[in-house]
Amino acid sequence: MAKTLEFGKLKLRVISALIMAPCFIYIMYTGGVIFQTFLLLAFALSLYEWYGLSQKTDRFLFYFSMGTAYMMTAYGSFYFLREFYNLNVLLIFIGMIWFSDIGAYFTGKTLGGPKLIQKISPNKTWSGFGGALFFPAVFAVIWISVFGFHDHFQKLGLLMLLPAGFMVGLAIGCVGQVGDLLISYVKRRANVKDTGTLIPGHGGLLDRIDSMMLGAPVFLFLISVLHYVF
């Protein structure tokens, strides 16, 4: 019975992802006013979910103010990745986050093993954490090999870009898991399972983008440093 329920939940998650992913990518591709409007709406919804979550904690003002600043930084970074750099840079970032989540889920389910931080997120394992680092690193290498990166960095050549992409993929995979754990920690304090019910099989919007929220400013910082150095 438990396996049937788990398969049903996974099926619902896959269907939701197949519907949302093309729409999301189209908005990223279009850019401009459509992209900016999408970001504003997503930010407003995220803030609404965070407000409800913060209300259920024992330190509402602290969590709400810190969360608001956190989301402003995350959404601002996401905007700059698309508008200051280019679509390819943003797609690499999104791909790394998606492959990190996929790698963590399937590696953890397949290999199991010791728990990562059971008090915060009881389903996460060290094997899943390894998958969360390895998969985005491999994705970054494959993507850069096929589609390149940003024009500014192409002069470095693949011999330098591919190892750099692999290391950045490892970093973003790690940071994404930390971002996931941060939201999970607040959910634990609020004694709730999900931040909302917007996305079938996934919960709220924050449940879906928790890895991106910390990953976006870190990725922007990393490529900005590389841009300055090279």
The ranges assigned to domains in the chain are 2-229
At 153 the pLDDT is 80
Lowest-pLDDT range of 26-30, 78-82, 220-224: 26-30
Lowest-pLDDT range of 76-90, 92-106, 108-122, 182-196: 108-122
Question: Which of 147, 141, 143 shows the shortest CA–CA distance to 164?
Answer: 141
Beta-bridged to residue 115, according to DSSP, are 125
**pTM score, whole prediction:** 0.88
- pLDDT tens by residue, 4-60: 434 455 555 566 666 777 888 888 888 889 999 999 999 999 999 999 999 999 999
Three-state DSSP at 148 gives coil
- pLDDT tens by residue, 112-148: 888 888 888 888 899 999 999 999 999 999 999 999 8
Q: How many DSSP H helices and E strands does the chain contain?
A: 8, 2
CA–CA gap between residue 178 and residue 223 (Å, rounded) = 19
At 13 the pLDDT is 58
Give residue 60's Cα distance to chain centre: 25
Tokens 């004694």 — which residue?
Answer: 191
Residue 104, judged by CB atoms within 10 A of its CB (0-12, 13-18, 19+), counts as buried
